[in-house]
Amino acid sequence: MCLGIPAKVIEIKEDNTGKVDYLGTKIKVNFSLIDDIKVGDYVILHAGFAISKLDEKEVEETLSLLKDFIENK
């Protein structure tokens, strides 16, 4: 089952494991599959691993496209 909702990174340890906040719950996660991760980033989780980092710039772009849609309705 894919978890569509991103989780916020709250702790990264030296061995590349750490914790995320997923809908208010703290979960242990392995960050070994992605690079350049820092506390405060949003990640996509799957089976105990972070598999992708969320690009917040892209979120903004999609939202502005959606706003265009509404204005040109």
Interface residues with another protein (CB under 8 A) are 1-2, 4-6, 30, 32-35, 42, 44, 46-49, 51-52, 54-56, 58-59, 61-63, 66, 69-70, 73
Which residues, other chains included, contact 4 with Cβ-Cβ below 8 Å and sequence gap of 6+?
none
Residue 62, φ and ψ in degrees, nearest 5: -65, -40
- Closer residue to another protein (CB): 39 or 59: 59
- Closer residue to another protein (CB): 39 or 66: 66
Residue with tokens 């820092």: 38
- Closer residue to another protein (CB): 32 or 39: 32
How far is the C-alpha of 54 from the C-alpha of 65, rounded, in Å? 18
